[in-house]
């Protein structure tokens, strides 16, 4: 299956992507891909090192005639988001990604593809391996754990890199040059609830919300897609007088819009429960018919036995808190057209055996606005009696419209494509803002090939875009300014 990928053009890029995707590399479990990357650098006879947090740095001297150019840091992250469809049998800890060609797209079989940021990693590998590509001195920086905390970028110490310019290869539209991004913070609420005996003669039901698009909680939040956790709460809220909640699990990763949620309830008044459920189901399907064509909402009798359920008081408390917690776009940027400034993704909700956990990822390009929304969420959950912790805070990347490397990329893009690039900030989290804290004088820019559906099993990479992007990379390396 992956052999078809190796025959795509440019072969150098796609072959390295296939090599990389054979290595399991979920976030926080990057040991194998770190070893893979170190072996790769050493096999080329290049200076290769791993820093104390797991980032890999490989240095390659300039090609002949390019010694007088500024040193370039080529940067991408090694980890990938691990999401799969419910009916897909796949173990991200042990298996390589199974890819196939679908017209102009490369896709994975029922899982995320890892093009985010694997195509960036593969690009750098192909450049390091080549004896023909012209380039200045290169420091290849492969960071870890970008997707679940950016701990690699946070842990990179100042002074390790000597580069003057950083090219981040993690933008997902080939006509975009990234000059800024949002920061983020994890907001986690935890609490306990009292249990009571399930009513005698109650009927167990399983409620499922599935088939949602999901996607990147930064780039796709503006689309207004369905959030399985919020939709499930609407169903539970309208049926709360006729059922008791026994167990709930929705979503999986903070940076992915949740696609599925499953709740187990016991029903005391079946007719009234189903009437309220069906009405809300119709309302939701009508609201989302143009956005979520595969959305499925079901309530089916269950053979499972639940002896304990949440008390009425704690159930009302939980459902009210989930109702009040903000999800989606909070504020649009007043300065950059169509840019989300601040948002929140209620990413994962777990209710089981007396414990509640609600995980959120709050993003903003404005630190004060990020703080306002994080405080609002904290207040909501604390009013419900839950404990709230903020963690993984990372800064945004402020645009520098006077950047010298921006002028190089902007001019080259227009020359090669006959039109101007879209110079923009994005609502996703890039590592540039964090790296800039220890390397404030480094001139940074971000770009990449077109990737759609990142952070979901619908992730796909454009083949024609990869060719366009590859040629752009080669021209950029030829045109790096002199020291």
Identify the CATH number of the domain in which residue 294 sits: 3.30.70.360
pLDDT in the model for residue 1: 58
**Does one domain contain both 245 and 366?**
yes
**Does one domain contain both 139 and 162?**
yes
Of the three residues 371, 394, 417, the one that is the final residue of a domain is 394
**Does one domain contain both 178 and 65?**
yes
| pLDDT band, very low/low/confident/very high, at 217 (cuts 50, 70, 90) | very high
Cα gap 330→190, rounded to integer Å: 23
Q: From the CB of residue 32, how many other CB atoms can be counted at a distance below 10 Å?
A: 14
Question: Is 262 among the domain residues?
Answer: yes
Q: What are phi and psi of 216, to 5 degrees?
A: -70, 125
Mean local confidence (pLDDT), 59-71: 98
Identify the CATH number of the domain in which residue 122 sits: 3.40.630.10
Q: Is 321 in a helix, a strand, or coil?
A: helix
Please give the model's pTM, rounded to 2 decimal places. 0.81
| pLDDT band, very low/low/confident/very high, at 74 (cuts 50, 70, 90) | very high
Question: Is 244 among the domain residues?
Answer: yes
Of the three residues 394, 428, 448, the one that is the final residue of a domain is 394
**Does one domain contain both 197 and 147?**
no
**Does one domain contain both 193 and 170?**
no
**Does one domain contain both 420 and 451?**
yes
pLDDT tens digits, one per residue of 405-423: 999 999 999 999 999 999 9
**Does one domain contain both 218 and 240?**
yes
pLDDT tens digits, one per residue of 252-308: 989 899 999 999 999 999 999 999 999 999 999 999 999 999 999 999 999 998 999
Of the three residues 394, 414, 443, the one that is the final residue of a domain is 394
Torsion of CA 424, 430, 436, 439, to 10 degrees: -120
**Does one domain contain both 419 and 329?**
no
Residue 382 near residue 314, CB atoms below 8 Å: no
Q: From the CB of residue 458, how many other CB atoms can be counted at a distance below 10 Å?
A: 18
Give the H or E element holding residue 375.
helix 367-383
Pairing of the two strands 422-426 and 176-181: parallel
* 467-470 long-range contacts, CB within 8 A, separation 24+: 467/9, 467/10, 468/174, 468/417, 469/123, 469/174, 470/10, 470/13, 470/123
For 63, the token pair is 């090609």
Residue 135 near residue 68, CB atoms below 8 Å: no
Catalytic residues, by residue number, are 79, 146
Cross-strand bridge partners of residue 186: 361, 391
Give the CA distances from residue 359 to residues 15, 165, 257, 385, in Å, rounded to whole numbers and listed in that order. 37, 36, 12, 16
Give the H or E element holding residue 389.
strand 387-394
Calculate the average pLDDT of the chain.
96
| % of the chain at pLDDT higher than 70 | 100
Look at residues 71, 60, 57 and name the one whose alpha carbon lies nearest to residue 480. Answer: 71
* Number of domains observed in the structure of the chain: 2
Residue 470 near residue 191, CB atoms below 8 Å: no
Place of tokens 């390019």: 66
Cα gap 426→134, rounded to integer Å: 30
pLDDT at 335 over 90: no
pLDDT tens digits, one per residue of 28-46: 999 999 999 999 999 999 9
Look at residues 125, 175, 139 and name the one whose alpha carbon lies nearest to residue 447. Answer: 175
pLDDT in the model for residue 148: 87
| pLDDT band, very low/low/confident/very high, at 378 (cuts 50, 70, 90) | very high
**Does one domain contain both 195 and 159?**
no
Question: Is 44 among the domain residues?
Answer: yes
**Please, how many CA atoms are within 13 Å of residue 214, restricted to the half-sphere of its CB?**
29
| % of the chain at pLDDT higher than 90 | 93
Question: Is 483 among the domain residues?
Answer: no
Mean local confidence (pLDDT), 201-225: 95
Q: Is 56 in a helix, a strand, or coil?
A: strand
**Does one domain contain both 220 and 257?**
yes
Question: Is 255 among the domain residues?
Answer: yes
Domain membership of residue 69 as a residue range: 3-182+396-478
């Amino acid at each position: 299956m992956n052999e078809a990928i190796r025959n795509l053009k440019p072969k150098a890029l796609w072959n390295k992507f296939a090599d990389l995707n054979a290595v399991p590399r979920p976030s926080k479990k990057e040991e194998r891909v770190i070893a893979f990357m170190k072996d790769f650098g050493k096999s080329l006879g290049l200076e290769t090192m791993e820093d104390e947090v797991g980032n890999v740095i490989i240095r390659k001297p300039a090609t002949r005639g390019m010694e007088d150019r500024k040193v370039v840091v080529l940067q991408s992250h090694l980890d990938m988001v691990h999401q799969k469809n419910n009916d897909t049998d796949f173990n991200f800890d042990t298996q390589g990604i199974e890819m196939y060609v679908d017209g102009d797209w490369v896709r994975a079989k029922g899982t995320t593809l890892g093009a985010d940021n694997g195509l960036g990693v593969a690009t750098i590998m192909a450049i390091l391996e080549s004896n023909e590509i012209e380039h200045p001195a290169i420091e290849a920086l492969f960071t870890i754990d970008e997707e679940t905390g950016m701990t690699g970028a946070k842990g990179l110490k100042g002074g390790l890199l000597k580069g003057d310019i950083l090219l981040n290869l993690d933008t997902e539209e080939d006509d975009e040059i990234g000059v800024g991004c949002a920061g983020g913070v994890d907001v986690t609420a935890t609490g306990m609830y009292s249990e009571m005996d399930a009513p005698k003669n109650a009927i167990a039901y399983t409620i499922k919300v599935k088939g949602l698009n999901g996607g990147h909680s930064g780039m796709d939040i503006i689309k207004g897609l369905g959030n399985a956790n919020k939709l499930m709460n609407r169903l539970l809220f309208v049926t709360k007088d006729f059922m008791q909640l026994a167990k709930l699990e929705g979503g999986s990763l903070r940076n992915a819009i949740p696609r599925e949620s499953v709740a187990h309830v016991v029903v005391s008044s079946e007719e009234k429960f189903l009437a309220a459920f069906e009405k809300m189901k119709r309302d939701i399907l009508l609201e989302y018919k143009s956005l979520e064509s595969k959305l499925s909402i079901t309530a089916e009798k269950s053979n499972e036995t639940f002896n304990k359920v949440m008390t009425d008081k704690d159930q009302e408390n939980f459902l009210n808190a989930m109702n009040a917690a903000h999800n989606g776009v909070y504020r649009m940027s007043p300065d950059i057209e169509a840019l989300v400034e601040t948002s929140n993704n209620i990413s994962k909700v777990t209710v089981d055996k007396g414990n509640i956990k609600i995980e959120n990822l709050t993003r903003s390009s404005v630190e004060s606005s990020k703080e306002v929304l994080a405080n609002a969420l904290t207040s909501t959950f604390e009013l419900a009696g839950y404990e709230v912790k903020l963690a993984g805070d990372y800064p945004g990347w402020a645009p520098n419209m006077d950047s010298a490397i921006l002028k190089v990329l902007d001019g080259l893009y227009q020359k090669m494509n006959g039109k101007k690039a879209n110079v923009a900030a994005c609502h996703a989290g890039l590592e540039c803002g964090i790296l800039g804290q220890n390397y404030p004088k480094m001139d940074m820019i971000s770009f990449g090939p077109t990737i759609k559906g990142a952070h979901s099993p619908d992730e796909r990479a454009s083949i024609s875009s990869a060719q366009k992007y590859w040629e752009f990379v080669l021209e950029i390396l030829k045109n790096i300014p002199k020291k």
